[in-house]
Amino acid sequence: MEMFWGLAVSAILLGCTYTLVAIGFSLFFGVMDVVVFCCGDIAIFGSFAIIGAYAVAQSAGLFGVFPFWVCVILLILIGAVFCAAWGLITHQLSIKPFQNSSELMPLLSTIAMGTVIKEGLGLLFKPVVNTISAAFDRESAVTVVSGRNPQGFPSLLLPDGTVGARYLTIIVITAVILLLLFLFLNKTKMGMSMQAISQNKELSLMTGINVSRVIIITFLIGGVMLAVSGFLVGSYQKLMSFDDGAMYGAKGFSAAVVGGLRNTWGAVIGGMLLAFVEVFVSGYIPKGTAYSSIAAFVIVVIFIVFKPDGIIGDKSVEKV
Amino acid sequence: MNGTVDNTLEISGLDTSYGRIPMLRGVSLNVPSGQVCCVLGANGAGKTTLVKAILNMVKADRGSMKLEGKNMDSWPTHKRVKSGIAISAAAVGTFHKMTVEDNLKMGAYYIDDSLLQERLGEIYQSFPVLRERLRQKAGTLSGGERTMLAIARAVVNKPKLLILDEPSLGLAPIMIEEVFEIIRRLRATRQMSILLVEQNAVKALSVAGCGYVIQKGAIAFSGTADALGRSEFVENPVM
C-alpha cells in the first residue's frame, strides 16, 4: 500500500507538469484553431532561462544581496517574461503569417519553431561541468556530461526542506496557478473574450471584441503558463536536457487531446490521467519503466479512436 | 442628433472580392436615420458580403462608407462596433457554451457595469423569453430563442445602426411573426436605424421604409418600400 501512495504522489507531480503544458495547448488552440506544436519547447526554454538567470545571478553575487525567496520569485518572473516573449514571437513568426493558408502550415511552422528553440538551447548551453555543479542540488551533486548535454536545474523550492515538502510545494503552485487561470477566464472581460473567440470567432468579431489583441494576450498568458510548467519540470527532474521539450510537448498535447482540446479542466484531467497511467505502469509492471510512455500514448490512441472529443469535449470536428 | 446628418449609413461605390473573384460591384446604399431599410436578394447575391463589408470583416477594394457623416474606411471591426454598428446574424449563431446572460454581456462589450444592468433590465422586458432562460447555456435554446438572443445581444448596445442579417432564417412561421413584431417595436422607438437583410421579401417590406435589391453583387433596385413592392423584383419570386 505504501508503494501505491508513493506512486500516486509521483503521478500527481508528473501530472502537474503535464497539465500546465496541456493548458498551453488548449489556450492556443482555443483562440487560433491551431495546434502550436512548440509548447513543450517553450516550457523547456523557460527552465533554461531560469538556469541561465540563476548562473548570472550567482556570479554577480545577487543571492547575498536579496533574501533567497525574493531571488526565487525574480527567477521565475524572468522565466515567465522569456516564455511570454517567445509565445509572442511564435505567434508573430510562425502562426500569423499563415492565417489564411492551409491548416497544415502553422502545424509545420510551429514544429520548426520548436526545433529552433531546441537547437538554440543546445548551442547556448554548452556542457560546462563547473557551473553545473555549483548550480546543483546540494544533496545530489551529480555532474553528468553526455551527448545530450544535460544541465542541472537549480534547486529553488525549499532547498533546505524535505523532499516531501518540496513536492507539496509543486502541487500547491500548480493549484494556485490553475485557480488564478480559472478566475481570469471566467471573471474578467479579457478571459471571457478568450472563451468567446474559442466558441465562435466570427461572432466575437461582430460583438466588437478586438480579436487580434486578445490573441496576443492569450499567447502572453500561455507563455507564462508554460514558464511555470518549465520551472516545475526543472524542480521535479533536477536535470534538464535541451531536447526535453519534444517529450513534454508530446505528453502535454496528448493530455490536451485526452481531456478535450479547448477545455482547461480537460487539460487537468488529461494530464493527471496520463501521468497516473505512466507512473503506475512503471511501478507495477516488471521492467515497466521502459514502457511507461508507450502506455501513455496507447491511452491517447484509445481516446482518439473511441472518444475523439476527449473527456470533456466539444462535439466539433477537430483539425489536427 | 446633429440635424444636418440625415443618413446613418452611407455607402458609395463599394467593391469587394474573394481572392480574385469580384463579389460586390459598385454598391451604393443609404440608411436614413430612424428608418428601416431592407436589402433583398437571392442566395449568393452578396447580401452577407455587404453586411461583413460594413463591419470591415470583408475588406473593401474600393468605395467609401460613412457612419453619421464620419468616414469610417480606416476603422477596424471593433472600432466600428464601438462607434455604434451592431449586427445580429442568425447564421453566425451564439456563444453556445455561455449562458444566455453572458451572451448578452458579451454584446455589451463596451458598456460599463451599472449601465449594463439597466440595459439588461430593458432587454428582459422586450424579450421575456430570454429572462426565463438566463442561466441556460445558449447552445440549448431553440432556433427561435436563439434568434431572439442574437437580436437582443445586438440591441443591448443601443447602436446607431442595427443590422439584421436574415432574422427569419430557419424559423417557423409563428416565430417569424414574432421576430418581425420585435422589429416593428424597435422601429416605433425610432432610436436606431435598421438595415434589414432578408430573403423573405413580403415580410421585409411590411416593416421597411426603403428598399434595395441586390443581384449578382450589384444594386439592381433602390427606392421606397412601396415602389419596391410594386416592382418586378418582388412579383417575380425567383428574383
pLDDT of residue B5: 54
pLDDT of residue A32: 86
Range of the domain at B31: 7-235
Q: Could you tell me if A286 and A234 are in contact, meaning their C-beta atoms sit under 8 angstroms apart?
A: no
pLDDT of residue A90: 94
pLDDT of residue A290: 82
CA distance A170 to A172: 6
Q: Which residue has the higher pLDDT, A313 or B30?
A: B30
Identify whether B105 is part of a domain: yes
B87 neighbourhood in chain A, CB within 8 Å: 206
CA distance A111 to A95: 11
pLDDT of residue A314: 62
Q: If you average pLDDT over every residue of chain B, what do you get?
A: 87
Q: How confident is the model at residue B237 (pLDDT cuts 50, 70, 90)?
A: low
Residue B63 contacts A, CB cutoff 8 Å: no
Q: Tens digit of pLDDT for each residue in B172-194?
A: 888 899 889 989 988 888 778 99
Residue A203 contacts B, CB cutoff 8 Å: yes
Question: Taking CB atoms and an 8 Å limit, are A206 and B92 in contact across chains?
Answer: yes
Cell numbers representing residue A152 in the block: 542541472
Query: How crowded is residue B19: how many other Cβ atoms within 10 Å of its Cβ?
Result: 7
Q: How confident is the model at residue B236 (pLDDT cuts 50, 70, 90)?
A: low
pLDDT of residue A319: 36
Nearest to A153, CA basis, from A125, A128, A132: A132
Question: Taking CB atoms and an 8 Å limit, are B110 and A208 in contact across chains?
Answer: yes
Identify whether B2 is part of a domain: no
Q: Which of residues 133-192 of B touch A (CB under 8 A)?
A: 153, 157
Question: Taking CB atoms and an 8 Å limit, are B105 and A209 in contact across chains?
Answer: no
pLDDT of residue B21: 85
Q: Tens digit of pLDDT for each residue in A210-223?
A: 999 999 999 999 99
- Residues of chain B with pLDDT > 90: what percent? 38
| Complex-level ipTM | 0.89
Q: Which of residues 79-118 of B touch A (CB under 8 A)?
A: 80-82, 87, 89, 92-98, 102, 105-107, 109-110
Q: Tens digit of pLDDT for each residue in B49-99?
A: 999 999 999 999 999 999 999 999 999 999 999 999 999 988 888 999 899
Domain ranges of chain A: 10-306
B78 neighbourhood in chain A, CB within 8 Å: 205, 208-211
B108 neighbourhood in chain A, CB within 8 Å: none
Identify whether B1 is part of a domain: no
A200 neighbourhood in chain B, CB within 8 Å: 92-96
Sheet containing B210-215: order of strands: B85-89, B161-165, B193-198, B36-40, B210-215, B218-224
pLDDT of residue A320: 36
Second-level CATH architecture of A10-306: Orthogonal Bundle (1.10)
Give the domain CATH number at B22. Answer: 3.40.50.300
Tally of structural domains, chain B: 1
Question: Taking CB atoms and an 8 Å limit, are A208 and B109 in contact across chains?
Answer: yes
Question: Taking CB atoms and an 8 Å limit, are B109 and A206 in contact across chains?
Answer: no
Question: Taking CB atoms and an 8 Å limit, are B98 and A195 in contact across chains?
Answer: yes
Residue A101 contacts B, CB cutoff 8 Å: no
Cell numbers representing residue A85 in the block: 516573449
What residues in chain A have per-residue pLDDT under 70?
Answer: 127-149, 313-320
pLDDT of residue B1: 41
Burial of B32 from C-beta contacts in 10 A (0-12 / 13-18 / 19+): middle
Q: Tens digit of pLDDT for each residue in B183-230?
A: 998 888 877 899 999 988 888 988 999 999 999 889 988 888 888 888
Residue A207 has its nearest CB partner, among B96, B97, B106, at B106
Q: Please spell the DSSP secondary structure of chain A, one letter per residue.
A: -HHHHHHHHHHHHHHHHHHHHHHHHHHHHHHHSS--TTHHHHHHHHHHHHHHHHHHHHHTTHHHHS-HHHHHHHHHHHHHHHHHHHHHHHIIIIIGGGTTS-THHHHHHHHHHHHHHHHHHHHHS---HHHHHHHS-STT------TT-EEEPP--S-TTS-HHHHHHHHHHHHHHHHHHHHHHHHHSHHHHHHHHHHH-HHHHHHHT--HHHHHHHHHHHHHHHHHHHHHHHHHHHSEEETTHHHHHHHHHHHHHHHH-TT-HHHHHHHHHHHHHHHHHHHHHSTTGGGGHHHHHHHHHHHHHHH-TT-TT--SS----
